[in-house]
Amino acid sequence: MDRFSYLAEWQRLKDFHLRLGLVGTAILVLVAVFCAVSYRFTGLLTVKKITSHPFVRFTYACLLKPHEKGIDGGQRTALESFYSSQASVYDATRKRLLQGREDMLAALAAQLQSRTLSNPGRKPVWYDVGGGTGYNIEVMDKLVGIEGFFEHVFLVDLSPSLCEVAIERARAHGWKNVTVLCQDARLISCTPSSADLITMSYSLSMIPDYYSVVDMVAGFLSPSGLVGICDFYVQSIVDISSRNYVGGTFNRHVNWFGRMFWRTWFDADRVNLDGGRRDYVEYRFGTILSASERNYLLGGIPYYLFIGCRRDADICAAHGEEVLAKFDAVLTESPYLSPTKFREHRALDAQQNVPRSKSYESAIVNLSSNLPLPAAFYQQHHWRIYYNDLLTKHQQFGNEYIYAFNWEDPKVDRQLLNIDQNDVILTITSAGDNILDYLLEKPRRIHAVDLNPNQNHLLELKIAAFTALPHCDVWQLFGEGKHADFRSLLLQKLSPHMSSQAFQYWLNKAHVFSSPGGLYGSGGSRHAINLVRWLFKLFSLTAKAHTMCKVETLNEQREIWPCIRRILLSWPLHQAVVSTEWWAWKAAGVPPAQRELILDDYSQRTKLPKSKKLCGDAIWQYVVDTLDPVVETTQISRDNYFYYLCLEGKYSKKCHPRYLAPKTHTTLSKPGAFDGLRIHTDELMEVIARISPSSLTIAILMDSMDWFNPTGTSAQEQIVALNKVLKVSGRVMFRSAALRPWYTQIFEQNGFEAKCVGRRDSGKCIDRVNMYASTWICTKKFDLVMSPANELKKVGTGGSLEELQI
């Protein structure tokens, strides 16, 4: 044996012994845990009782009992060898091991019920492949009622012992429309497109020839049918990093040790955790919902939920190309162009410079490569636009939104902008509260844009809640910020109305609504709120803060304020905490460029040179100018829900955003209420670049332009881009920490008339938040074009602008 052969053989033996050692260690740990748990009962248990205990039989069958060595009987013999001694205790021992089955079935039931509303006359047919003891059917019976909801249910399994349990279960429940088929799933005798629902619960990982089974399932699933799979898996994020059709990658990565350990552990029982099984499912079906979870009760075993449909369902059917084009026209505000020949039309688009959305472009790539479309195309609603969640620009936020509630006053926005049914609005998502307020004015379209995916997940949750829940549940979720039954609502009511990414996110974050702080104690902005509450508690001001939120007159409110002000606006506190750059960014969301605007204004007002010491003075004065007028002129208990929420951690029935009123729920819960909403996860400039010229009427930028560096070109580039996509007389609204921000001059140089419509001076509030120094509306007066000499010129006015290089 040469040296290289020896090294290869040594490495093979080394890997084998390592895996063997890991399995042995895991077995010892499991047995030790079992013995420790059972020790307390040893005085009461006889040997006969111990050997008949379900978990003893489970341990013996899974860890100690040798498998049949012969292969003549094939997979049936292997399964029967494994299950025959534990079929009667299967359900009792799998409750904790096989997690996710109930979640998958609840989400499937919700999807089926949602679809039944549009086709009420037809009952679905369900095939539960690898259904074992019929446990899934019993769970579904509790959710929807088997006999009343399904035309027929077929349970297919290859193990006679498990099928006997299933037959007895059907007999005990009296199900007349349930048939148990003890046979190979590949030999199911059914007509093509005859199944409306097909489920595989922890069976795909035990089928050696899984390709043919998945192909079979895809073959007899009806055009509008659903497939649901729940199973173990192990995968690295690298495995799917180039795929845009998997429905999101949240929590999907399993580390190297986990991949090796769980593969080896389950291989001992002929359960295959090869990632290719999940890959093939995602290749053969369109993804509706997908989620990766961990069973932490048993060491963090990875498992996944998948709900899908046929790849050619709806969007890719006979008129799929036209559906794609219509969908794209809405996203880009471009005219609909029917593509009789898809790829030829794509070439024509390139020649004519027709803007296309990222969703459209990703669909072209996938159709050309014979791949499923991105999950966004298979959703029931097309609110959320496709985005790549693996990009660094999205992952920089981790799994946290910054704002759990909006910090801009939509009442003032409505008064200044006079939104109507002809408006097409571009705005920043933030927490989505203002968008829900604008939707009550029924504009033609709203494009909500945020680079942080989690902010858009929050908006999706809100619109799904209005679509599927009564007002009492909506109030608990977003009025009180808490709901003890949120996880069940998410699975059984909200999931059909959410994108796969948002569903994954909230399935993982379900604890937010049952935590002590609730929704409004979460997000990056919670740091500032928690500090204020801690100070109130430290200085015994909590009771006074609660009283301020209850008094009915301004005079009473003003009398309480000095006690609170003495602490909240104390100089030491601001020097040590509030005026620091870390606090400004992490807690208040104020970037360095915006802090500079505050410092510049203060320096001009006081005629003092800028310095580090002056920064503390400037921030302190800014906070004073913010809070004092609020207390003096707005009633917190009845009208100023922004500060009420900060003090109380929730809204009240008398003080809340307009979108939480009962009458408003009636409007927003109507079918089609959100048809005009499109949620973009991207930079503003990326979205603007894909919108057709002269199609927007309003752009609401909040305070985002304060974030630009005055020495850079980003502000001018964005203003020029806004001029292109806005109609003449279209308006840009923004707020600023400066009384007159430097970029207003750039607006005036690029076709806009800038007007200050709110200025915070003389102790007055510009709105109920009063956090910004000024509010501006810039109205587009004329179009700009780029000349061959690379200079901007006025269109249709007979004059020209001063030369500006971009």
Q: Which tokens in the block code for residue 321?
A: 């190309």
Q: Which tokens in the block code for residue 168?
A: 């007895």
Q: Quick one: residue 512, left, alpha or beta (phi over 0 = left, psi -120 to 50 = alpha)?
A: alpha
Rounded to the nearest 5 degrees, what angle is found at the Cα of 93, between the Cα atoms of 88 and 99? 130
Residue 526 main-chain phi, psi, to 5 deg:
-65, -25
- At residue 529 the predicted structure's pLDDT band, cuts being 50, 70 and 90, is confident
pLDDT at 524: 85
- At residue 789 the predicted structure's pLDDT band, cuts being 50, 70 and 90, is very low
Pairing state between β 677-680 and 445-449:
parallel
Tell me what the mean pLDDT of segment 358-385 comes to. Answer: 86
Tell me what the mean pLDDT of segment 316-330 comes to. Answer: 53
Higher pLDDT, 73 or 527: 527
How remote is the C-alpha of 624 from its chain's centroid? 37
Write down the domain spans for the chain.
1-47, 95-311, 315-378, 392-482+658-794, 526-648
- At residue 619 the predicted structure's pLDDT band, cuts being 50, 70 and 90, is confident
Is 692 within 8 Å of 742 (Cβ atoms)? no
SS3 at position 700: strand
Is 287 within 8 Å of 52 (Cβ atoms)? no
Give the tens place of pLDDT for each residue, 684-715.
Answer: 999 998 888 999 999 999 999 999 999 999 99
From residue 600, alpha-carbon distances to 275, 578, 631, 703, 737 in Å are: 57, 18, 26, 17, 10
Question: DSSP label at 577?
Answer: I
Q: Which tokens in the block code for residue 123?
A: 């009952």
Q: Which residues contact 254 (CB under 8 A, 6 or more apart)?
A: 233, 234, 235, 236, 262, 302
Instruction: Name the nearest CA neighbour of 394 among 588, 680, 699, 594.
Output: 680
pLDDT at 83: 52
CATH architecture of 95-311: 3-Layer(aba) Sandwich (3.40)
Higher pLDDT, 419 or 798: 419
Q: Which residues contact 785 (CB under 8 A, 6 or more apart)?
A: 792, 793, 795
Q: 392-482+658-794 belongs to which homologous superfamily?
A: Vaccinia Virus protein VP39 (3.40.50.150)
- At residue 578 the predicted structure's pLDDT band, cuts being 50, 70 and 90, is low
Pairing state between β 784-786 and 792-794:
antiparallel
- At residue 593 the predicted structure's pLDDT band, cuts being 50, 70 and 90, is confident
pLDDT at 269: 72
pTM of the shown model: 0.86
Please classify residue 688 by burial: count the beta carbons closer than 10 Å to its beta carbon, then call 0-12 exposed, 13-18 middle and 19+ buried: buried
Average pLDDT, the chain: 83
Q: Tell whether the model's pLDDT for residue 47 goes beyond 70.
A: no
pLDDT at 336: 44
Higher pLDDT, 17 or 767: 767
- Number of Cβ within a 10 Å radius of residue 91: 17
Tell me what the mean pLDDT of segment 778-787 comes to. Answer: 84
pLDDT at 275: 87
**Cross-strand pairs, 677:** 446
In the chain, what is the greatest distance between 2 CA atoms, to the nearest angstrom? Answer: 102
Residue carrying the six token digits 């020896």: 6
% of residues, the chain, pLDDT over 70: 77
Give the tens place of pLDDT for each residue, 238-273.
Answer: 888 889 999 999 999 999 999 999 998 888 777 888
- Number of Cβ within a 10 Å radius of residue 802: 7
- Number of Cβ within a 10 Å radius of residue 220: 17
Instruction: Name the nearest CA neighbour of 308 among 284, 285, 332.
Output: 285
Q: Considering only 146-155, 178-187, 415-424, 539-548, which range has the smallest mean pLDDT? A: 178-187
Query: Quick check: do 95-311 and 392-482+658-794 share a fold?
Result: yes
